[in-house]
Structure 1
Amino acid sequence: MPSILRSVTKRFFIIITVVVTVLFLLSCAAWFIPPGKYWWLALLGVGFAFLFFSTFLLFIFWIIFRSRWLMLPLVVLMIGWKPIHAFFAIHPLAGSSIHKAPGSIRIMQWNVARFDEMTYLPRSGKSKRREILEYVRKQDPDIICMQEFLESNNLKLLDANTPFFRDSLGFKYFSYAMDHRRPDKRYEHGIAIFSKYPIRNTGRWKFRGPKALKGDESYIYADIDVKGETIRVFTTHLQSLLFTRTEFKNVEDIKKGSDSTIEKSWAIFRKFRQAYGLRQQQADLVREQMDKSPFPTIICGDFNDVPNSYAYHRIKGDLLDVFTEKGFGIGRTFSSISPTLRIDYIMADQRFKVLQCRNPHPALSDHFPVIADLVLENPE
């Protein structure tokens, strides 16, 4: 009887190993396969963290039992090394400091969630606007890219933000693209690049998605003169899932296994499918413009997608992901849904050297900032 039990148990773990490793390989393939058609494969990419850790634990399990089956998860982990490295940065000794090295350029990326001004009554003093602005001041970036940047059109209701960045924070140069405006024109929001160095030229394009889904937002660039050398900085905000508060609650209910899990899951899947198709188109358009840049390029943005996604891989190309260059761990940048979501990025031309990357977690927006210090080593 014990031998039969051992045999059944072993077969069970063999089946589990095969299933998990196959799913892990498919999640790795999400890098290369356009998600517009194969959205279910991209959805596996969202579970990359779980599949990676499961594959690694199965590898340890088979080592403990000294079985040749350890080779299957080992080979699969080796095949998936690049997506693993994009997901988990391995520089525990890199260190980071709020102090900026002489001669470096500090870049900051942050989705500021409209400075939280939408949450409270105008002029209530309860929003996090002032705290966000003070936090930016303390970080002392030379260039900052922001998404969901809110600007007031009625100073009796809301304070203006662009003048504050210019006059109080020292960002004399900026490029701002308004993507959404209230019908009563009280306020608007979009994406922005602010710079303490001179901006010599700017460009703007609009995505071709449906306006009702906010699929027509902008991607912009600014050519910035940094001590006599021109760099081109892009920023964008790729298609969001557009989750409502109810849908965020549904995600939590799904985690708990509530009675309506299947119904709620299908509603969530439809949102994922819709967003994947639009992000594929948007990533292709951004890459097309980046390839035309005559200058060393940096892109900062809220991609709304994880590091093993098509959007990440398409935009990154041969650029340096500053977090994988100098970070450690998962680098979470979104506060909801899952602790493994890194969806905000700074990527730089290989002519830059990454000195440090920081991923602080101030409780000021639903996104966390990414901050990097760079040096342009070879401008030609």
Structure 2
Amino acid sequence: MTPPVRWFLSLIGNLIALTAAFGLLARYVPPQVFWPPAIIALLLPGLLVLTAIYALFALSRRHWPGAMLPIAVILFSIPVLDQLFAWPGGDERDGAVGPTVTFVTGNQRLFRSYDGKDVDHNRVADAFRSFNPDVALLQEVRPAKNRMNYISSIQAAERLDQRHQKEGTLVATYAGSVQPVTSSFTEPNEYNGYIVTDVETALGTVRVINAHLESNQISGLADNIQEDGSYSNRLETFGHMLTGYGRTSRLRAQQAEDIRTAVETSPYPVVLGGDFNDVPSSYTYNQILSPRLKDAWVARGRGLGTTFTGPLPGLRIDYFLVDTSLSVVSIERLSPNWSDHRPLRMVISR
């Protein structure tokens, strides 16, 4: 390999490693202080893979100076690797002991199919029967005042007789017995936020927090970038995407702090689920993940666990975070059906 080629590869490899290091800052730096790392965090799994590949390449060529930064970045990433690339250990893999409770969470995208038409009610009812949950945490579902609200279709599943949904909002928790506790939504449209519900289960009372954190609204912008003809229009749209992501990441950080307080003050075991609109390497995720909670996908899932199938695929933005007093028996991703989010189905026990 000629010196110019080696120099060029070293430059590219170290630039990738430096970008990955910048993305790793997202989990530590509040977006209110500095938000650009939050954008890079979206690409972090791929950046770390490329960094590791270049580090191995440099070591195989005995190019020690070129390998130093990539190796340092990989070492710095160790605390977040199990969140990005889940590989469960043996502590929760012996199956359930005693009663179990099944939870499902999913962003339903207003029950509209990809062609913009309302999904058939029977299809929704069949899907929820197949999910067979004891508790369902749903986001982007129509309120009761909407004529096409799908409430009866959801309640066609067993054990989902009762519903907690603040009037006019799009977040709802279904179970056999619900006791509303509180709710918090972003004004003025109250589209994003969370609800807190005490649910009676076979494991006793569980405090369920159903979250749909501030939407990035960058999926539509990503579609516009592809559709905009001129370079200047695409560049302008991309600029709007970046500034919008900065604004929404700050709002999610505040919501995360509020949810963390709700978790830490709960008198009952907590199950937190929903659409966080942020990745595991984000400040939002790490702020919510208090010492009282564990990530169910990290505990029992395998691999990236991506849940978003839209214009920016490959993202894990839907979660179950579970009280450490509870055991995760299993967790799986379900078919996306009509939504651009894959639902999660989780079974827990004591």
TM-score grouping bracket, smaller chain normalisation:
0.7 to 0.9
Deviations 1:26-64 (A, max 9, x none): 211101111123111211112212311221221221233
Structure 1 residue runs of 5 or longer lacking an equivalent are 181-189
Provide the residue aligned with 1:48 in structure 2. 44
CA distance in 1, matches of 2:131, 2:262: 30
Please show how residues 171-186 of structure 1 align to structure 2 within 5 Å.
171-180=160-169
Question: Are the structure 2 counterparts of residues 253 and 102 from structure 1 closer, same or farther at C-alpha, using a change threshold of 3 Å?
Answer: farther
CA distance in 1, matches of 2:295, 2:52: 24
CA distance in 2, matches of 1:8, 1:128: 61
CA distance in 1, matches of 2:225, 2:258: 31
Contact 1:30 1:308 in 2 (8 A): yes
- The offset of 1:282, in angstroms, is 1.1
Provide the residue aligned with 1:186 in structure 2. none
Provide the residue aligned with 2:69 in structure 1. 72
Question: Are the structure 2 counterparts of residues 128 and 251 from structure 1 closer, same or farther at C-alpha, using a change threshold of 3 Å?
Answer: farther
CA distance in 2, matches of 1:229, 1:335: 35
TM-score, with structure 1 as normaliser = 0.81
Contact 2:89 2:299 in 1 (8 A): no
CA distance in 2, matches of 1:257, 1:361: 37
- The offset of 1:67, in angstroms, is 3.1
Provide the residue aligned with 1:205 in structure 2. 183
Contact 1:333 1:341 in 2 (8 A): yes
Matched, 1:343 2:335: no
Contact 2:136 2:173 in 1 (8 A): yes
Deviations 1:85-105 (A, max 9, x none): 2112124999x9xx9986211
Contact 1:179 1:218 in 2 (8 A): no
SS at match of 1:299: strand
Matched, 1:127 2:101: no
Contact 2:143 2:168 in 1 (8 A): no
Question: Are the structure 2 counterparts of residues 279 and 179 from structure 1 closer, same or farther at C-alpha, using a change threshold of 3 Å?
Answer: farther
The one-letter code sitting in structure 2 at the alignment partner of 1:194 is: Y
CA distance in 2, matches of 1:101, 1:250: 51
SS at match of 1:236: strand
* Farther-moved stretch of structure 1 (31-40 vs 166-175): 166-175
Matched, 1:334 2:308: yes
Indicate the percent of aligned positions where both proteins have the same amino acid: 23
Deviations 1:217-267 (A, max 9, x none): 44211112223622111111111023474x23234469x995644222112
Deviations 1:74-119 (A, max 9, x none): 332122022222112124999x9xx998621111111111112897
Contact 1:104 1:375 in 2 (8 A): yes
Out of 143, 147, 157, the residue aligned to residue 151 of structure 1 is 143
Provide the residue aligned with 1:194 in structure 2. 174
Question: Are the structure 2 counterparts of residues 204 and 80 from structure 1 closer, same or farther at C-alpha, using a change threshold of 3 Å?
Answer: same
Provide the residue aligned with 1:308 in structure 2. 281
CA distance in 2, matches of 1:249, 1:191: 26
Contact 1:306 1:343 in 2 (8 A): yes
Provide the residue aligned with 1:224 in structure 2. 199
SS at match of 2:140: strand
CA distance in 2, matches of 1:257, 1:100: 57
- The offset of 1:13, in angstroms, is 2.6
Matched, 1:111 2:107: yes
CA distance in 2, matches of 1:244, 1:23: 23
Provide the residue aligned with 2:346 in structure 1. 372
- The offset of 1:72, in angstroms, is 3.4
CA distance in 2, matches of 1:91, 1:369: 20
Contact 2:30 2:253 in 1 (8 A): yes
CA distance in 1, matches of 2:154, 2:329: 26
The one-letter code sitting in structure 1 at the alignment partner of 2:109 is: A
- The offset of 1:141, in angstroms, is 0.9
Question: Are the structure 2 counterparts of residues 131 and 266 from structure 1 closer, same or farther at C-alpha, using a change threshold of 3 Å?
Answer: same
Q: How many residues align?
A: 347
Question: Are the structure 2 counterparts of residues 303 and 154 from structure 1 closer, same or farther at C-alpha, using a change threshold of 3 Å?
Answer: closer
Contact 1:305 1:311 in 2 (8 A): yes
Contact 1:119 1:127 in 2 (8 A): no
CA distance in 1, matches of 2:56, 2:230: 29
Matched, 1:169 2:146: no
CA distance in 1, matches of 2:2, 2:115: 58
Question: Are the structure 2 counterparts of residues 348 and 92 from structure 1 closer, same or farther at C-alpha, using a change threshold of 3 Å?
Answer: closer
Out of 133, 136, 139, the residue aligned to residue 128 of structure 2 is 136
Question: Are the structure 2 counterparts of residues 163 and 195 from structure 1 closer, same or farther at C-alpha, using a change threshold of 3 Å?
Answer: same
SS at match of 2:224: helix
Contact 2:102 2:135 in 1 (8 A): yes
CA distance in 2, matches of 1:116, 1:339: 19
| Bigger-Rg structure (1/2) | 1
CA distance in 1, matches of 2:139, 2:125: 14
TM-score, with structure 2 as normaliser = 0.88
Provide the residue aligned with 1:82 in structure 2. 79
Question: Are the structure 2 counterparts of residues 131 and 303 from structure 1 closer, same or farther at C-alpha, using a change threshold of 3 Å?
Answer: same
- The offset of 1:167, in angstroms, is 5.7
CA distance in 1, matches of 2:258, 2:193: 11
The one-letter code sitting in structure 2 at the alignment partner of 1:334 is: F
CA distance in 2, matches of 1:117, 1:361: 14
* Farther-moved stretch of structure 1 (364-373 vs 78-87): 78-87
SS at match of 2:265: coil
- The offset of 1:210, in angstroms, is 4.4
Please show how residues 250-329 of structure 1 align to structure 2 within 5 Å.
250-252=224-226, 260-318=233-291, 319-329=293-303
SS at match of 1:30: helix
